[in-house]
Amino acid sequence: MRLPKAPLKFYSPKDSADTQESLPNSIVLELRKSLLSWYNYSHRNLPWRRSPEPYKIWVSEIMLQQTQVKTVIPYYERWLAKFPNIEHLAAADLQDVLKAWQGLGYYARARNLHKASQEIVERHGGLFPHRLEEVLALPGIGRTTAGGILSLAFNLPVAILDGNVKRVLARLMALPVPPAKASKQLWQMSETLLDPQNPRDFNQALMDLGATICTPHNPACLLCPWQPHCEAYNLGMQSELPMREVSAPIPHKIIGVAVIWNDERKILIDKRRQTGLLGGLWEFPGGKLEEGETLEACIQREIQEELAIDIEVGEHLITIEHAYTHFRVTLNVYHCRHLSGIPQPLECDEIRWVTLDEIDQYPFPTANVKIIEALRQYVGKRGK
């Protein structure tokens, strides 16, 4: 039978949400030493750790926002081959940047990388800044991302608090509230524990601990260097922490999508406005189904409202289910024929008629890529 150790009182449930008790210095030193020792032989061999070049580390930190390492690595390598430094990225066309990002999601990250690279060239002579306030002023960089870049690239003692770190600290402290309700306390803990002599390895070790040992489900507590001091483990609550907030049901949107053909066998695509979830990407036009409306009527209405043209809705091509972070969609895609009117970009930045062979030149959201694949299969079966 495992007997719990005396609590370290990182965080007291009896206190208000703004109160945190200090850690004894001896415990802080022990936690630093044990984590760095574990990292010395257990660290992940990640490509952005092989060079302290700030640009490469910056790109990796942005790509890793809400995206798993295994997904990021091939994108990261292709990105550096196409945009090897800040100057190349700053000089690139945004459409090329979005195309290189295609499939990675959260496209604002790519737009911000591009915009920030131009600011670095203009304001910092093409050199990534190493002052925290200057880094935070760049588009798309928050406190955690800034800490990751500055500690890894410059070995500066700046704390981090990404999802993995929140989970590790919440269990270490046996945090009695969801992490979102204790952001101040978690930042204080991250700053307290940070090793000022070796912030580069410490922050990377903390992220690795969360990614490989202190995982969301079935944490490998017996392999954890912090197990002796982990309040969640001592209380047998590691599977229950961190606490989760009750989430509202995810909205579901039914969308009618038009693949519009003209007499030259070209397809109409439009480019979304630069802001928003998929800003700057190309797509097949369409919109949300209204109550009591058929999909065919929805598509005709949306195309008239968005492009000011009349179409004939034909056969069904494909239905695609796709989930985003805060909602999910069902795309009902139909072949359509252009009847009359000159397309106008009323609710988009630009429109183009393209052939199926030309369409790969344009960056599309993942769900629209599936439409392109279905189109190729359709054309292949019937012949060009």
**Residues noted as catalytic:** 61
Phi then psi for residue 121, to 5 deg, are -65, -45
The amino acid present at 129, given as its one-letter code, is: P
Give the distance, in angstroms, between the CA of residue 308 and the centroid of all CA atoms in the same chain: 35
Task: Tell me how far apart the alpha carbons of residues 238 and 171 are, in angstroms, rounded to a whole number.
Answer: 6
Query: What is residue 317's three-state secondary structure?
Result: strand
The neighbour count for residue 250, using CB atoms within 10 Å, is 11
Upper half-sphere CA count for residue 320 (Cβ side, 13 Å): 21
Report whether 223 contacts 213 (CB < 8 A).
Answer: yes
For the packed helices 108-124 and 94-101, what is the interaxial angle rounded to 10 degrees? 130
Q: 149-179 burial by CB neighbour count: b if 16+ within 10 A, else e?
A: bbbbbbebbbbbbbbbbbbbbbbbbbbbeeb
> Among residues 204, 206, 205, which one has the least CA distance to residue 189?
206
> Do the Cβ atoms of 240 and 53 come closer than 8 Å?
no
Cα separation, 354 vs 360, in Å, equals 10
Around Cβ 106, how many Cβ atoms within 10 Å?
18
- Please state, in angstroms and rounded to a whole number, the distance separating the CA atoms of residues 93 and 83: 11
Q: Is the peptide bond before 129 cis (omega within 30 degrees of 0)?
A: no
The count of other CB atoms within 10 Å of the CB of residue 64 is 20
Q: β-strand 267-271 against 282-283: which pairing, if any?
A: antiparallel
**Cα–Cα distance between 298 and 334 in angstroms, integer?**
11
Sort 82 into a burial class: Cβ within 10 Å, 0-12 / 13-18 / 19+: middle
C-alpha R_g of the chain: 25
